[in-house]
Structure 1
Amino acid sequence: MTTAFRAALAFVLLAGFYVLVGLIVAAAVFFDVLLIVDFHANALKAAIVLTVAAGALVRALIMVSRRGGGELPGVPVTREHEPALWQTVEDLAQRVRTAPPDEIRLVPEVNAAVSEDTRFLGLKATRRRMYIGLPLLQTLTVDEMRAVLGHELGHYSGAHTRLGAPVYRGRVSLIATVQGLGDHPFFQRLFTLYAKLYMRVSQAVSRRQELEADQFAVTIGGRKAMAEALRKIHNAALAWNLYASGYLSMTGAGGYRPASVFGGFHALMSDDARQAELARLSEQPEETSPYDSHPSLAERLAAIELLPEPQHVPDPRSALMLLRDPNVAVQAVEQSMWTPEALTGLRAVSWEELVAHGMYAARNAEALHDLAVAGQQVMGATRPYLDAAFEAIARGQQAALEDRLRERGWNPSETLLSGVLGQALEAVLIRHGQARWTLSWAGPARLLFDDGEEVALSEYAAQVAANPSAVAGLREWLGDLGVRHDYVPEEASAGV
Structure 2
Amino acid sequence: MTTALRALLGLALLAGLYLLVGVVVGAAILADVLMAVDFAPNVLREVVALNLAAAALGYALATVSRRRSGEQPGVPVTREQEPLLWQAVEDVARRVGTAPPDEIRLVAEVNAAVSEDTRFLGLKAGRRRMFIGLPLLQTLTMDEMRAVLGHELGHYSRAHTRLGAPVYRGRVALLAAVQSLARHPVLRLPFTWYARLYLWVSRAVSRRQELEADALAVAVGGRRATAGALRRIDDMALAWTLYVHGYLSLAGAGGCRPATVFNGFHALLNDPVRQAEIARLAAEPRESSPYDSHPAQADRLAAIELLPEPSQVPDPRPAQSLLRDPAGAAQAVETSIWTPEALTALRPAPWEHIVATATYARRNAEPLRDLALAGRLVVGASRPYLDAAFEAIARGRQAELTARLTELGWTAADDLLAGVLGRALEAVLIEHGQARWTLSWSGPPRLLFDDGEEVALAGYAAQVAADPSAVPGLRAWLGDLGVRHDYVPVAETDRPASPVGEPAPVPRR
Give, in whole Å, the separation in 2 of the partners of 1:2 and 1:413: 60
Deviates more, 1:41-50 or 1:94-103: 41-50
The alignment partner of 1:402 has SS state of: helix
Structure 1 residues 316-335: aligned runs within 5 Å: 316-335=316-335
Give, in whole Å, the separation in 1 of the partners of 2:43 and 2:442: 68
Deviation at 1:63, TM superposition (A): 2.0
Give, in whole Å, the separation in 1 of the partners of 2:44 and 2:26: 16
The alignment partner of 1:116 has SS state of: strand
Alignment of 1:217 onto 2:214: no
Deviation at 1:404, TM superposition (A): 1.9
| Alignment partner, residue 62 of structure 1 | 62
Structure 1 residues 64-213: aligned runs within 5 Å: 64-66=64-66, 68-213=68-213
The alignment partner of 2:291 has SS state of: coil
Alignment of 1:265 onto 2:271: no
| Alignment partner, residue 447 of structure 1 | 447
Give, in whole Å, the separation in 2 of the partners of 1:261 and 1:110: 13
Contact preservation (8 Å) 2:6, 2:201: yes
Deviation at 1:142, TM superposition (A): 0.9
The alignment partner of 1:490 has SS state of: coil
| Alignment partner, residue 277 of structure 2 | 277
Letter paired with 1:157: S
| Alignment partner, residue 296 of structure 2 | 296
Could you report, residue by residue, the CA deviation over 1:415-451 in whole angstroms, capped at 9, with x for unpaired residues? 2111111111111101110001111111211110000
Give, in whole Å, the separation in 1 of the partners of 2:435 and 2:457: 12
Identity rate, percent: 71
Contact preservation (8 Å) 1:138, 1:266: no
Deviation at 1:271, TM superposition (A): 1.4
Give, in whole Å, the separation in 2 of the partners of 1:18 and 1:481: 73
Give, in whole Å, the separation in 2 of the partners of 1:468 and 1:67: 67
| Alignment partner, residue 437 of structure 1 | 437
Give, in whole Å, the separation in 2 of the partners of 1:491 and 1:324: 54
| Alignment partner, residue 485 of structure 1 | 485
Deviation at 1:408, TM superposition (A): 2.4
Deviates more, 1:198-207 or 1:336-345: 198-207
Give, in whole Å, the separation in 1 of the partners of 2:249 and 2:290: 32
Deviation at 1:491, TM superposition (A): 5.4
Letter paired with 2:379: M
Where does structure 2 lack aligned partners over 5 or more consecutive residues?
495-509
Letter paired with 1:206: S
Deviates more, 1:39-48 or 1:275-284: 39-48
TM-score (norm: length of structure 2): 0.94
Letter paired with 2:341: E
Deviation at 1:283, TM superposition (A): 1.2
The alignment partner of 1:264 has SS state of: helix
Deviation at 1:409, TM superposition (A): 2.4
Give, in whole Å, the separation in 2 of the partners of 1:375 and 1:191: 59
The 1:307–1:6 alpha-carbon spacing in structure 2 relative to 1, beyond 3 Å, is: same
Could you report, residue by residue, the CA deviation over 1:436-483 in whole angstroms, capped at 9, with x for unpaired residues? 111111121111000000000111111111111111111111111111
| Alignment partner, residue 34 of structure 1 | 34
Deviation at 1:217, TM superposition (A): 0.2
Deviation at 1:2, TM superposition (A): 4.1
Deviates more, 1:171-180 or 1:154-163: 171-180
Deviation at 1:319, TM superposition (A): 1.0
Where does structure 1 lack aligned partners over 5 or more consecutive residues?
none
Deviates more, 1:59-68 or 1:328-337: 59-68
Give, in whole Å, the separation in 1 of the partners of 2:382 and 2:180: 52
Contact preservation (8 Å) 2:438, 2:447: yes
Q: Let me know the Cα RMSD of the aligned residues.
A: 1.6
Letter paired with 1:299: D
Give, in whole Å, the separation in 1 of the partners of 2:382 and 2:188: 57
Contact preservation (8 Å) 2:384, 2:491: no
Give, in whole Å, the separation in 1 of the partners of 2:190 and 2:453: 62
Give, in whole Å, the separation in 2 of the partners of 1:181 and 1:357: 46
| Alignment partner, residue 286 of structure 1 | 286
**Superposition misfits of 4+ residues, deviation over 4 angstroms:** none
The 1:407–1:232 alpha-carbon spacing in structure 2 relative to 1, beyond 3 Å, is: same
| Alignment partner, residue 498 of structure 2 | none
Contact preservation (8 Å) 1:112, 1:131: yes
Contact preservation (8 Å) 1:31, 1:46: no
Letter paired with 2:128: R
The alignment partner of 2:222 has SS state of: helix
Letter paired with 2:374: A
The alignment partner of 1:489 has SS state of: coil
Give, in whole Å, the separation in 2 of the partners of 1:238 and 1:53: 41
Give, in whole Å, the separation in 1 of the partners of 2:387 and 2:113: 58
Give, in whole Å, the separation in 2 of the partners of 1:276 and 1:113: 28
